Amino acid sequence: MYKIYHNPRCRKSRAGLKYLESKGLTFEIVNYLADGISFEELKELLNILGKKPLEMIRKQEEIYRKNYKGKEFSEDEWIKIMVDNPKLIQRPIVVRNHQAVWGDPPENIEVL
């Protein structure tokens, strides 16, 4: 089964969800903005993705530009920032069988 970390207000995230639906795949939706995401869960996702925290931060977000742009933080500090401000997390993230991809563009999901 697939799991999609989804923001219903995000066009790219909706495209990833639509892609899963179009393929007839079974999936679980994680609305991490409403339900939150733990430090451990996000750290594991980043590990599975093979990405550093800074690679998965939405740098166009106002909160990033105002509070974090140009500042130095450890990887764990960036993860904590993302947990505290989940809007900063790139989306969607799709997981299956201990593999994960950033679903932008949605075709990235094919590798799972």
Cite the active site residues. Answer: 10
- Residue 87 identity: K
- Residue 56 identity: M
Helix (H, G, I), strand (E, B) or coil at 89: strand
106: exposed, middle or buried (Cβ count in 10 Å: 0-12, 13-18, 19+): buried
89: exposed, middle or buried (Cβ count in 10 Å: 0-12, 13-18, 19+): buried
